[in-house]
Amino acid sequence: MNAIAAEIVSAEHDALVPPHGGVLRDLYLPTAEAEALKRFSASLPQRTLNQRQLCDLELLLNGGFSPLQGFLGRADYDRVLADMRLADGTLWPIPITLDVSEAFAASLSAKAQISLNDTQGTPLAVLTVEEVYFPDHIAEARAVFGTTDRTHPGVAELLDRTGPVYLGGTLQGIQQPSHYDFASLRHSPRHLREWFRQHGWHRIVAFQTRNPMHRAHRELTLRAAEQVGAKLLIQPSVGRTKPGDVDHYTRVRCYRALLNHYPKDHAALSLLPLAMRMGGPREALWHAIIRKNYGASHFIVGRDHAGPGNDTNGRPFYDPYAAQQLLAAHRDELGIEIVPFPAMVYAANRDTYLPQNEVDAKDEVRDISGTELRRRLHSGESIPEWFTFPEVVNILRERHPANAREGFALFFTGLSGSGKSTLAQAVLARLLETGSRPVTVLDGDEVRRHLSKGLGFSREDRDANITRIGYVASEVVRHGGIAICAPIAPYAGARDEARQLVQAHGRFVEIHVSTPLEVCEARDRKGLYAAARAGKIKGFTGIDDPYETPASPELRVDTSQRTVTDAADVVFAWLKSEGLA
Ligand SMILES: Nc1ncnc2c1ncn2[C@@H]1O[C@H](COP(=O)(O)OS(=O)(=O)O)[C@@H](OP(=O)(O)O)[C@H]1O
Ligand SMILES: Nc1ncnc2c1ncn2[C@@H]1O[C@H](COP(=O)(O)OP(=O)(O)O)[C@@H](O)[C@H]1O
């Protein structure tokens, strides 16, 4: 009996649902062959995968994406876009593709093999490239996400951070990507199926999440499990979720704490290394297929499943129940039962949670939105017990201390001589006078003597300088400190990049020191404007190199209109009003 037939028979035997397409893939080679391929892979073209590609690879190799055996070729890709199916007709809603640059693609010979590596250079798999093709990213965004609006994180990634060429081909797995965090909570579909068998679990309802779970989630999952007579699998995505989400380390601590609030032996926790696309209905279908591969017989789809929030006009990208409708439409061929659920809300008068559609006029409904929860965490305000469990609040508070203890960056930007350093020093003095927070100053001149020594003033060098400042600031903020940065930072793109780096860990406060050029030039503290006018310095900001005015900084201060003390007062008052000082 060949391996495929054996797999089908065993799937029938264990009474767990069959995997998608009938075959649970396992693309890892046996140990000796994997060892030989690892040695051989050193001679192949090397490719370091980004986080999304690494997540995709892991689920391709371990069978989470069964029946796929590699990255999609053109025919599969086209049909997935057009009607959510592989070329052979199997339901598959999200394109799993390997994007590269044109230069990398051009360097490959026909039928090339390439080594796919993690960020440490460890070879994980070899891809035999069967097809090289140019996708139309705009068409892909429209088909998969239904929009080309870059506010959608999946669209932004596709249009701005995805290579122009796709490589299709089959994979041979060498070794699993290493995870040193929560290793005991990570399982392949094969492992999880084995665990279900050992524990006699046959009906299993899976729950997907990218957020910390509170009482509403507990009620919802318990009701869903009870409704279909199944055990519960809490399977949060921990690969990559929506930018700005609570990090998975914190979330997993919350899930673990919550697990103690389920009836014994009724709920299990397993982490899914999925790179979410936030693709709403299509993504929900994909999630269901993946859970089926892990052996779940049922899948909970709540309100706004995998929703990316609102578009540029403030309207939701997807109808909150579109995912449930799409899954219902494919019910017969999906092979995993969908358990649709409305939002759960708290009725204070009954001191209980209810599905929204069971609420009546007399009920006093209470809810705390994600935004409100973040606000309360930031301000240190209380979070009621009806909303979540005290252990969960404690974990979230440790991770998100009230503003007064959370790190942030003050990023002064403006022309040379505008007053950035002077103002930074004055604000520094205020912060040190009134608080005990560690403060790091990354002044333009100072940085250029150390961190950015050797860099000049070309666009490339200036961008590198600002990225370095942003990186150091983000580390300071990550550890709860205050970073005060004061470079010219003339280019909007680099400023935004610094913002992204910092915002992963705390607030980024951009302060445009908007002193007019004439005033800066009249001050000419260092004689550089005169030298620039005389042509002795080339590419001087404001003279013969541009300064891109910040469009929407948190604050704008013109030092020609105020004394140093006044200007520092404006900044400090703003920090106070935001709870940062
Ligand atoms: N070509 C040119 N353009 C602008 N500035 C120049 C140039 N050459 C030297 N300097 C001096 O370098 C200081 C600016 O460095 P920054 O690191 O803040 O610049 S940047 O953000 O990387 O563009 C700046 O200091 P500040 O006056 O404190 O802003 C200048 O003194
Ligand atoms: N209200 C003010 N705020 C800040 N600087 C001022 C003000 N009025 C005059 N200045 C002077 O302007 C110059 C600004 O230089 P600096 O702070 O080094 O600017 P930058 O760091 O932006 O190059 C200093 O000599 C400072 O004394």
Please, are residues 242 and 308 in contact by the beta-carbon 8 Å criterion? yes
Ligand (nearest to CA of 423): 2
pLDDT of residue 14: 55
Question: Tokens 């358990």 sit at which residue?
Answer: 339
Q: Which tokens sit at 235?
A: 């399977």
Domain residues for the domain of 167 are 3-173
Residue 425 Cα: closest atom of ligand 2: 17
Same domain for 169 and 209, yes or no, is no
- Non-local (6+) Cβ contacts of 457 within 8 A are 539, 540, 545
Same domain for 264 and 413, yes or no, is no
Please, are residues 219 and 255 in contact by the beta-carbon 8 Å criterion? no
Residue 178 in domain: no
Residue 491 Cα: closest atom of ligand 1: 23
Same domain for 332 and 463, yes or no, is no
Same domain for 498 and 549, yes or no, is yes
Residue 513 in domain: yes
Last residue of a domain, one of 399, 424, 450: 399
379 is in an annotated binding site: no
Q: Which tens digits make up the pLDDT trace of 411-423? A: 999 999 999 999 9
Same domain for 260 and 309, yes or no, is yes
Residues in the chain: 581
Give the chain's residues under pLDDT 70. Answer: 1-14, 401-404
Same domain for 412 and 533, yes or no, is yes
pLDDT of residue 347: 97
> Any idea what the CATH number is for the domain that residue 104 is in?
3.10.400.10
The alpha carbon of 347 and the centre of ligand 2 are apart by a number of angstroms equal to 58
Residue 306 in domain: yes
Last residue of a domain, one of 376, 399, 422: 399
Same domain for 138 and 48, yes or no, is yes
pLDDT of residue 489: 97
540 lines ligand 1 (CB under 6 A): yes
Closest-CA residue, ligand 1 atom 30, reads 416
Please, are residues 555 and 511 in contact by the beta-carbon 8 Å criterion? yes
The alpha carbon of 528 and the centre of ligand 1 are apart by a number of angstroms equal to 9
Q: What is the CA radius of gyration of the chain?
A: 27
Residue 118 in domain: yes
The alpha carbon of 579 and the centre of ligand 2 are apart by a number of angstroms equal to 27
Q: What is the DSSP string of 147-197?
A: ---TTSHHHHHHHHSS-SEEEEEEEEE-SPPP--SSGGGB--HHHHHHHHH
Last residue of a domain, one of 147, 173, 199: 173
415 is in an annotated binding site: yes
Is the ipTM reported for this complex over the cut 0.90? yes
Q: What is the DSSP string of 324-381?
A: HHHHHHTHHHH-SEEEE-PPEEEETTTTEEEEGGG--TT--EE---HHHHHHHHHHT-
Same domain for 369 and 409, yes or no, is no
Distance from C-alpha of 402 to C-alpha of 580, rounded to nearest angstrom = 9
Q: What is the three-state SS of 433-462?
A: HHCCCCEEEEEHHHHHHCCCCCCCCCHHHH
- Non-local (6+) Cβ contacts of 467 within 8 A are 494, 497, 498, 501
Q: What is the three-state SS of 69-91?
A: CEECCHHHHHHHHHHCECCCCCE
> Any idea what the CATH number is for the domain that residue 352 is in?
3.40.50.620
CA-closest candidate to residue 81, choices 158, 172, 161: 158
Number of domains in the chain: 3
Distance from C-alpha of 119 to C-alpha of 57, rounded to nearest angstrom = 13
Residue 94 in domain: yes
Same domain for 384 and 471, yes or no, is no
Helical (H) or strand (E) element with 256: helix 248-259
Residues identified as active-site = 209-211
Sign of the torsion formed by the C-alpha atoms of 336, 342, 268 and 198: negative
Same domain for 41 and 124, yes or no, is yes
Distance from C-alpha of 164 to C-alpha of 76, rounded to nearest angstrom = 18
Residue 559 Cα: closest atom of ligand 2: 1
Same domain for 430 and 299, yes or no, is no
Ligand (nearest to CA of 414): 2
Ligand 2, CB cutoff 6 Å, lining residues: 414, 416-423, 486, 523, 525, 559, 562-564, 567
Residue 338 in domain: yes
